[in-house]
Structure 1
Amino acid sequence: MQELREQVTTMLGVMQRQEARLEQLQGFVERQAAAVAAAATESRDPLAPSARAPEAAEGEGVVAVSVAAVPPPTSAPPTASGSATLDTTADEVERERALTALMKFMKFKPPTFEKGKVEPSAVKSWVDSMETLFEDLYTPEKDKVPFATHCLDKAAKVWWKRLKRDRPSDLPPMLWEEFKRKMFGNYFPDTEKRKLKKKFRKLRQGDRSVADYEQEFSHIIDCVPDVVKDDADRAEWFLRGLRPWIYRAVQLFQLRTFAEVFNKALWAEHGDAHVREERELLAGSQDKGKKRPGGSSGCQSSSKRPPKYPRSQSWGRGPQRCPICGDRGHRAPQCRQRQGRCFNCGQEGHISRDCSARASSTPSVASTPAPPPYQGGPHMFPCQQGVHWRHASRR
């Protein structure tokens, strides 16, 4: 608040001094106008009558002598001291105007530039910030360079003083475009431009997002505009650097402008992220369904019941597991532990035709796969007496 009050007080003082200078200038102009009007009035007075010679004596010849009219006095031109006063007053008014504009500009806290080494991104960012501020404040062209150089510091300020000293004095004041060329030439030489062009040709998206890739891509083009020919060329270079799967998705549309390519790449990336999110949610829900209290899983089979006879497998393909002992290489009728056990489920107390597990696991006729064509050799056939083997002959 105190700083704001000081700025307001300073601006009021500047305005009062400007009013005083304007009053002095107005008085001087009025005096000059009065002098010119007086001179014009005197020039319109009639000429003095011609003087006659004294009358001669009677009889003598009379000779008239005309006296030339006296020319009217002319107004003297403005003195050198008056012109000097006018110039001094105009210069003071201009200085007051420039000071007021500079104070207004500095209130917005423009960024300072103090780099002493080559750093293209830093000088580009500073120039962009200054041009944005110039546009917002409607800064006239003649004030841009003085305002910008007021924000230079340290090594950059030394560079500017050297540039002013070496510049011929008979040249007109430096304008903003010339200042930018000088600054980019000092902080962004041709060697750095060649490095950026080489980096641009090898630029790829990699593991970054499309937005991050576009930011670096556009930054290089801003620093080296001639790296692309036009907007279509810019779109083509951007498309080449995308990830392969995004490139394939966007390339099918055959887009021509950079904005269209960038927008489609963002949509492709967004769609892929959505698919991954849905997949992760589905996998998480499946994992939760399998978990049970105590670390047991619902998909685990009970160890108290021996495995059922695999009736859904193809007939006669590979060795089957015995439902009684669980070993391979023989069937239930050949098992040594078959005494008193069901040939279907391996449990005691009933036979296979009365087995309840068989009734619930036997597929319907419509869903039971047809047996393969007879190739000779042993085949397995279900019957009412359980599962047994016999040699089937072709009829």
Structure 2
Amino acid sequence: MKIPSFQGRSDPEAYLEWEKKMEFVFDCYNYSEIKKVKLAVIEFSDYAITWWDQLVINRRRNRERPIDTWEEMKVVMRKRFVPSYYYRELYKKLQGLRQGSRSVEDYYKEMEIAMIRANVEEDREATMARFLLGLNREIHDKVEMQHYVEMEDMVHMAIKVEQQLKRGSGIRSGHNSSSTSWKPSHTKPFDKSQMSKPEPKPVTTSHVPQGKTEASTSRNRDIKCFKCQGRGHIASQCPNRQVMVLRDNGEIVTETRIPTPTKCRHWRMLARRNI
């Protein structure tokens, strides 16, 4: 059987674990006390072997009796590797221990280890109340409704409730993801012919009263054109391209060419004098 090694780290939990393993080994064999000490020292390494060697030298120098029993060796090693405040920290940890993000099983294991290392001896009902108080609210409310005789029954019920809550949350999340991730298998291609064409705007006609139309036509008849001497239009709107010139003797002369603007004004002035 292999003897566990000890490096002498400044970790009280590591030392307590090594000490417990050594006691398990010693329970398997009928070793004498001095042999237990020697077997434990054989597996010392790193700082532990240096510390033990110096301890033996100091005891010889001070003419003290050598350590020759396992119980005496545990006292000396606990004094060195387990600080005095360690047990106070364990008690404080037990008072404020809560499940939090841990599982029910991990939470119970941590509570049990802390109680064992702190040498806590309490009634079974007190331990059950301590465990129930640290559970998460949704698990605590369901576990509290049942009656328990043993601590293990309460732990198993809490684990079962936790598994049911996980299954319920998994079903809800799966249902939500399936409903949101659904998409149609196919979509119709875009058809430009289905686009709505803009309707033509209706042509609005302005309605002019009949009386106004007749008055405007009567006034147009009185208008006289100075180019063709006709009526119903002005010279700029004259359809006749011939130019008629009224001379001083009253004779009217027509020309086919288009006169310049200067001559037109002159002829208009002559025509106005004769009229």
TM-score (norm 2): 0.58
Amino acid at match of 2:77: M
Q: Secondary structure at the match of 1:229?
A: coil
Q: Are 1:277 and 2:195 matched, yes or no?
A: no
Q: CA deviation at 1:291?
A: 2.2
Q: Which has the higher contact order (CA 8 A, sep 6+)?
A: 2
1:234 maps to 127
Report SS of the residue matched to 1:293: coil
CA distance in 2, matches of 1:140, 1:147: 10
Is 1:208 paired with 2:99?
no
Contact 1:235/1:256 (8 A) holds in 2: no
d(CA) in 1 for partners of 2:37, 2:147: 46
Partner of 2:260: none
User: 1:157 aligns to what SS in structure 2?
Assistant: helix
Q: Tell me whether 1:180 sits opposite 2:74 in the alignment.
A: yes
In 2: Cα distance, 1:295 partner to 1:175 partner: 86
Structure 1 pair 192–211 and aligned structure 2 pair: CA distance change class (3 A): same
**Offset, 1:170:** 7.9
Corresponding position of 1:267: 160
Distance verdict in 2 for CA 1:230–1:291, change over 3 Å:
same
Residues 307-386 of structure 1 correspond to what in structure 2 (within 5 A)? Answer: none
Q: Distance in 1 between the 2:180 and 2:137 partners? A: 32
Where do residues 106-255 of structure 1 align in structure 2 (5 Å cutoff)?
A: 108=2, 110-117=3-10, 119-136=11-28, 138-142=29-33, 143-164=35-56, 165-166=58-59, 174-226=68-120, 228-255=121-148
1:292, distance to aligned residue in structure 2 (A)? 0.7
- Residue 140 of structure 1 aligns to which amino acid in structure 2? Y
* Gaps in structure 2 of 5+ consecutive residues: 189-275
1:144 Cα deviation (Å)? Answer: 1.8
Alpha carbons of 1:195 and 1:275: their partners in 2 closer, same or farther (altered >3 Å)?
same
Q: What secondary structure is seen at the aligned counterpart in 1 of 2:129?
A: helix
Answer whether contact 1:120 1:188 (CA < 8 A) is retained: yes
Distance 1:259 1:179 in 2: 36
Contact kept? 1:120, 1:223, Cα under 8 Å: no
Partner of 1:337: none
Alpha-carbon displacement from aligned partner over 1:176-201 (angstroms, at most 9, x marks no partner): 23322322222112212112211221
Equivalent pair of 1:240/1:247 in contact (CA under 8 Å): yes
TM-score computed with the length of structure 1 as normaliser: 0.42
Instruction: Assess, with a 3 A threshold, how the Cα gap between structure 1 residues 116 and 283 changes in structure 2: closer, same or farther.
Output: closer
Count of aligned pairs between the two proteins: 186
Superposed displacement of residue 277, structure 1: 2.3
1:219-270 Cα offsets, whole Å, 9 max, x none, are: 21222122x5243322221211110111111112243432222111111111
Q: Is the 8 A contact 2:59 2:65 kept in 1?
A: no
Change (3 A) 1:131 1:273: same
Asked if 1 retains the 8 angstrom alpha-carbon contact of 2:133 and 2:140, the reply is: yes
For residue 294 of structure 1, report the CA deviation from its aligned partner. Answer: 5.0
Distance 1:234 1:149 in 2: 38
Code of the residue aligned with 1:201 in structure 2: it is Q
What's the offset of the Cα at 1:175? Answer: 2.3
Cα RMSD for the two superposed structures: 2.9
